[in-house]
Amino acid sequence: MSKQVTFILIDDDAISNMLSEIIIEDEFPDAQIISFTDPKQGIQFFESEFSESSINKTFLFLDINMPLMSGWEFLESLKEKKIEMKNNVFIYMLSSSVNPNDVKKAKLNPNVVDFLEKPLIDEFLKQLSEKHSFI
């Protein structure tokens, strides 16, 4: 029996979310995919719907540059609201940012696994699957 895997996409660009969803569905047809174009709705989801104990592995792909709330502000809001996601949530900054400071900031943030350049690619998802062994 394969473990339930959840992907949460937070990006103000609906097309980017759609492309990521297609790539994820190809690699993980049974995965649950939840996407938000408004990061504030993503915060509400984590406040009300998310239960760390009920989800085996969750991967959050978070854009950095969004008009309503940046990815960094999103992470800070989770921290301020004391929303715990440590054990089974893996946060990746998925961005088209070419700012080296964003890459550095992602690598220095203890809650962020890594910085990924858009678009999400199937090769990365295959590596993710092997790394976290959930095929």
Domain 5-128, CATH 3.30.230.10 — does that match? no
Please tell me the predicted confidence (pLDDT) of residue 2. 47
Please name the helix (run of DSSP H) or strand (run of DSSP E) that holds residue 129, with its range, or none: helix 122-132
Q: Over the stretch 53-92, which tens digit does the pLDDT of each residue have?
A: 555 788 999 999 999 999 999 999 988 887 766 667 899 9
Enter the pTM of the model: 0.91
Two tokens, residue 128: 């993710």
> Is residue 7 within 8 Å of residue 61, measured between CB atoms?
yes
- Other CB atoms within 10 Å distance of the CB of residue 86: 9
The string of pLDDT tens digits covering residues 20-56 is 999 999 999 999 999 999 999 999 998 887 766 555 7
Q: For residue range 2-14, list pLDDT tens digits in order.
A: 468 899 999 999 9
Spatial neighbors of 43 by CB under 8 A, at least 6 apart, are: 69, 74, 77, 78, 81
Question: Residue 67, preceding bond cis, omega within 30 degrees?
Answer: no
